[in-house]
């Protein structure tokens, strides 16, 4: 499928992104296209910022990134890391998602609680043995807050039938 403002040669790479990331990139592309076609750009930037409850500085920042890195620069790496962590077991993802819901959908608190559970040496669903501490962090490799956010979002996309109704 061809996407507006995504070069044909990049379609496969773009399609490999999770749906929520593609939607966000497309939204930014449309806004930036609107800015690019209007001279001077300032009024368009202010209009888009006000309409979408964004800071003018955020739009200028995204515009600079887009001009330097094209659409790839618009991918939010907190939501989709450049080198996504390896897939975890469905059991762990289900547990992580439940923990996130118990933490009122707060990613940082979910991360803190998961690390606290691990430090308390409690069993972690989806792991036969407790994972070992990373030499770089005070928690296991792959358990950064960004990676856990990625896992939760991915779980919601892959297993929507398992998501309780809000």
- Tell me what pLDDT residue 53 has: 96
- Tell me what pLDDT residue 1 has: 42
Mean pLDDT by 10 residues, the chain (166 residues): 68 86 93 91 95 95 89 82 66 93 94 95 90 82 86 87 75
- Tell me what pLDDT residue 2 has: 43
- Residue closest to 114 by CA, chosen among 140, 137, 90, 89: 140
For residues 71 and 9, the answer to whether their CB atoms sit within 8 Å is no
- pTM, to two decimals: 0.52
């Amino acid at each position: 499928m061809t996407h507006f403002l995504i070069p044909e040669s990049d379609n496969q790479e773009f399609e490999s992104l999770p749906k929520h990331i593609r939607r966000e990139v497309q939204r930014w592309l449309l806004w930036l296209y609107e800015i690019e076609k209007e001279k001077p750009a300032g009024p368009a930037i202010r209009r888009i910022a006000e309409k979408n409850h964004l800071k003018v500085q955020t739009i200028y920042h995204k515009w600079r990134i887009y001009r330097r890195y094209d659409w790839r620069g618009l991918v939010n790496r907190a939501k989709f890391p450049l080198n996504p962590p390896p897939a975890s077991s469905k059991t762990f993802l289900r547990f992580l998602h439940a923990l996130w819901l118990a933490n009122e959908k707060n990613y940082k608190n979910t991360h803190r609680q998961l690390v606290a559970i691990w430090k308390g040496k409690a069993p972690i669903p989806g792991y036969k043995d407790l994972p070992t501490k990373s030499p770089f962090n005070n928690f296991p490799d792959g358990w950064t807050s960004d990676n856990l956010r990625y896992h939760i979002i991915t779980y919601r996309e892959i297993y929507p039938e398992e998501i309780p109704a809000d």
